[in-house]
Each structure stands twice: as structure tokens, then as C-alpha cells.
Amino acid sequence: MPTIVHIGFGSNMGDRTGNCRAALKYLDKSSAAEVVKVSSLYLTEPVGFKEQDWFINGAAEISTGLSSLDFLGLLLETENKMGRKRVLRWGPRIIDLDILFFGDEIISSKDLVVPHIFLQDRRFVLEPLFEIAPDKIHPVFGKTVAELLDSLPPEGEKVEKLETGWWDE
């Protein structure tokens, strides 16, 4: 039985929209994953390391028969194929793919923490995730994505909705 996975994606180098599209197409064309839903794109202020270009971010719902670690391997393979270099934590990147939820699993290992450890604190994650899965319940906090988004303070990083329908071709 396939697992429904929610991922966050983003890019702030080169053709940011094209990078996001290419990463999702790579995942969708693999025999191990099917992209089910994709959010609009959002222009987002960098978090952590501020001295860099703004990001294009979004979220996707993916169906997979892989285990969580094998799915993480597929995401890392996608990032590597696209030329991602891990130089500076929270620094510029051609593509970033993060597992937000892996079904309803709670995973805490040296290689993977799910739900994503910062998910509840980041508007740039919650806004696009809300668009595709507002009623998804965070298995640790017992709150929906909508409730998590509502609980964020109004100040914080800037997030602006951009393109809708960018994935439908």
C-alpha cells in the first residue's frame, strides 16, 4: 500500500521555477514516486542566512511505495543530479527537497527526522502545505496544518503567493 508523503521544495539559484519543476518531474518520472498534488509557487524571504537571493518555494503531495529512508535517498539523488552542493547551512541552493510528513509516521534517527523539525515554525513551508493539505494532522502536535499556520505570529519572514497552475501542463 503506497504512503502519502508531503514534501517542501525550494530554489534560489538560477531558474528557480525551472529548478522546482525539474525536480518534481524527476520524482514523478521515477518508478518509485507519483506526484499527486502541487501547491502554487511562493516567493519567500531567506531564513537563517539572510545574505542571499529570495527563494521560490512550494509543497507537493507524493505517493510512494518506498520506505522513508529509501524515499529520502530518492530526494537526495534528485538534488545531486541537479547539482546541489551543501556548502553553507541554510545557504543558497539550486534545489532543496525536504520530507515534511511521511504518512503519519514519527521518525527520529540520525539520518531522518519526520515530521520535519522546523515545519511548525516556518510560514514558507506552511503556506504552500496549507494549500494542498490544510487538514493534515501533525502527528506530534495533534494540530492540523491550518491550525499550525494560524498560530504563527503575523510578523516573521515574508511569503508572497506567485504562480498558480504552474505545474499543470
- The residue with cell 504562480 is 163
DSSP letter assigned to residue 142: -
- State yes or no: pLDDT of 40 exceeds 60: yes
What value does the mean pLDDT take over residues 143-154?
A: 95
- Percentage above 70 pLDDT, the chain: 93
pLDDT at 155 over 90: no
| Active-site residue flag, 86 | no
Cα Rg of the chain (Å, integer) = 15
98 is catalytic: yes
Active site residue 89: no
Q: Where are the domains of the chain?
A: 3-161
Provide the pLDDT for residue 87. 64
| Whether the predicted pLDDT of 164 surpasses 80 | no
Q: Which of 84, 86, 104, 111 is catalytic?
A: 84
CATH number for domain 3-161, candidates 3.30.70.560, 3.20.20.150, 3.40.640.10, 3.40.50.720? 3.30.70.560
* SS3 assignment, position 69: helix
Is residue 4 scored above 80 in pLDDT? yes
Instruction: Choose, from 16, 21, 96, 122, the residue flagged as catalytic.
Output: 96
- The distance between the two most distant Cα atoms of the chain, rounded to a whole number of Å, is 44
Helix (H) or strand (E) holding 5: strand 3-11
Catalytic residue status for 168: no
Segment 59-69 mean pLDDT: 97
